[in-house]
Structure 1
């Protein structure tokens, strides 16, 4: 039987351990903003038009006015879908891995997140713009999803910090990019076209993710920083496919002050290749890309598949 002094020490140790765990949890969770505005009357009362897609299966989604969003909302309103090639690839990937969790980084108004949920998948939708996050949640309220969707109102970067979102002036609600200028301007003195949001890392979302993952990255040229802090994620999760928008990386890759300049892009590509991922174009032939010629990649979009899985 332990002596009184040893029992006191043991109790103190247990208490200290509990405090440390609480502090760790708080440090990891205080930056994460799980979106719950579906319970807010303002969410249910917003007057955006909501329509049914022409995808298979169909689902309901809420849209911006055409004048605010000339790409995704206009496409869904006129054609009933957005980016048919990517939609088909995501459908194929999720069909191959029925137990997968779909991670949508840069979820925008929730087109792919809602589609995956309609396919009965668990989804983690990460969207930095609160207006977009609200649209995702309103869309969820209009669908009978068999999957489970968690919406995080955060940016993804290489560390927990506060970042500014630089507004795209081209009537594109999907074109809000994380500004390279982090914390340089206090929120009260921010230019009118900046909005501020808490950034988290890919590793931070681990508690919300299931055992198998299909990942799409669409974060307006910030892919390099996002993948810097994902070491643990790739160690403990099985990632089959990464669908990555390359347009903004490609167009800014020669700019030294870009979020993903050439050297950073080369490092990101090398890390993914070292983990067994193979990059290819989206075209039907899925032309493989040379990882030693990153500056010459001229695709708008790239699909990375792990070497152990089949192409989609």
Structure 2
């Protein structure tokens, strides 16, 4: 004899429908935002990446020609990819290390902690364009005070933003100058580390390095991972500082009809977001720009997934 499922009372069905409707109502702001600001733009970008489209005429399907042109004929793709990855590896690593170091030092200061905290945080509030122009002035190889000081003490005087070998390190210095956001996050995490763990480590004879390695770092590892992931995402979108530094160093700071070498000097400050802008708004090749944007998105997602997976394993071990 076959068994049949018991019938669900009509009242219970109505209750479940009301619960689903209530849940959807609470989720609707997020669902609408996700659909309008993420899902629809992502699907549209994927659609236009297979189209010949200039933003004015009707799009026409052209298969994988946009992707082929990007990888084989567009002159700045591989250079922009190398520069962006360099900034992700070097700048993000140094910013996290420097922010953590500053946070550690300020939490140890007995007097004047408020002053140092304010002094390190204020540069983060400076507008990116103004901060980059100020750094371009300070690091000017001919008239800047930094090279003048280096010359006075007998050290080499780099070309900074005018030298392809020093342009990305100069951008990294700019990023370290505005490290106040990471400093505040790390300070909050460091102050939350249980004091009794430090006391137990001291009783066991642990020195400063071992206390940092086996007490501080395991406790703040989620915050370190947050700083690294957000830093990678922000650096993959690195645009304003790089293009402003290149324009100021080349002497092109505004006006129409002026010629500007992309990524000056010699493409060393050229990044993937600049490539997307160049393709979409200067060459009006919207289809190829969408393909470049998808590559940028895929690389960002790959970095994030790798870091989260690795970070989850480290946090689990701790």
| TM-score normalized by the length of structure 2 | 0.23
Higher relative contact order (CA 8 A, sep 6+): 2
| TM-score normalized by the length of structure 1 | 0.23
Report the structure, 1 or 2, having the larger strand content: 1
Q: Tell which structure's C-alpha radius of gyration is larger.
A: 2
Report the structure, 1 or 2, having the larger helix content: 2
